[in-house]
Amino acid sequence: MKLGAHISIAGGIFEAVDRARKGGCDCMQIFSRSPRGWEAPALNRDDVKELKRRRREAGITPLVIHAPYLINLASPDEELYEKSLKSCIEELRRADFLGAEYFVTHLGSHKGDGVKAGVSRFGAALNRIYNELNPGVMMLLENTAGGGNSLGGTFREINEVMKASRHKKRLGLCFDTCHAYAAGYDIGHKKGLEDTLSEIDSLMGLDKLKVIHLNDSKGDLGSHLDRHEHIGEGRIGTSGFRVILGHPRLEKPAYIIETPEKGPDSDPLSIKKIRKIYGR
């Protein structure tokens, strides 16, 4: 089992490796820069070299880069769409430079234009991205909590986006447990999890599932509330995570926790708790 957390890059991007190692992580997720703005400072070559050196020594793999929050490749707003496209291309270049294995992005919002329009625009964006780039990093599309104008609340929508591009083989899936539960997938029970995995498998194949964001949910099943909670303290509960972590078809993906911070020991304590639930 590969288990890690989303790690801060404060003080230097290479410092994230030491934080991950001290927290008991086998893998980690980071932002390559601030996720709440459009402008990104250039990555320092020496800092990147040091990041790679520390990763090798610590055995931290895979490295997952999460996209900034502002990117929306499903938007009908032409200015935002083009800005998002430019930012996504730059982020993929940065992820490649950092030596990351995966780049995770949300599917954004169709802003009321409808799922079909959002899918079409996202697929067209992927075609433009891969016409310009040939990155080594794999892009993973993350499921959302659904509701409103958001895209990706169902795995069928994610598969439609993959099919809308000419580059499905270069795309994978990031499965967020909180988002799935909030979207109505009852993954905390054996049958619900089996049904969910069968849906993924029939649509795109479970081999597409590369990363699992392991988060409990503050919201009820089907509430569409995107609020992460600590493992065992939300609606999925400890028993639900025993079902998830014990499933034989979920041994290959890397697990990343994105639970709220409750001080410097928050992630290490969560990692220990998950390993105890996993029991292997």
Residues tagged active-site: 36, 66, 69, 106, 142, 176, 179, 213, 226, 228, 258
Neighbours of 168 (CB within 10 A): 16
The rounded distance, in Å, linking the Cα atoms of 41 and 63 is: 20
Beta-strand pair 63-66/27-30: parallel
* Cα 24 to Cα 270: distance, rounded to the nearest angstrom: 10
In whole angstroms, how large is the CA radius of gyration of the chain? 18
Cα 186 from Cα 190, distance rounded (Å):
9
Query: Look-up: residue for tokens 């790679």?
Result: 52
Query: In the numeric block, which tokens belong to residue 114?
Result: 């409808």
Distance, CA of 191 to CA of 256 (rounded, Å)? 24
- Measured N-to-C along each axis, helices 190-203 and 237-245 cross at an angle, to the nearest 10 degrees, of 40
